[in-house]
Amino acid sequence: MLLVRAVYNPERADTRSPKFGDERRKVVSRNGRYVCSICEVDFDRYNQCWEHVNQHVGVTTCHVCAKIFATTHSLRRHLTQVHANLVKKKKK
Domain ranges of the chain: 1-58, 60-92
The whole-model pTM stands at 0.50
- More confidently predicted of 68 and 88: 68
**Residues 28/8, Cβ–Cβ less than 8 Å:** yes
User: Beta 6-8 vs 34-36: how paired, if at all?
Assistant: antiparallel
At 20, is the pLDDT very low, low, confident or very high (cuts 50, 70, 90)? very low
d(CA 15, CA 62): 38
d(CA 72, CA 78): 10
pLDDT digits (tens, 9 = 90+) for 30-53: 457 887 877 778 888 888 887 877
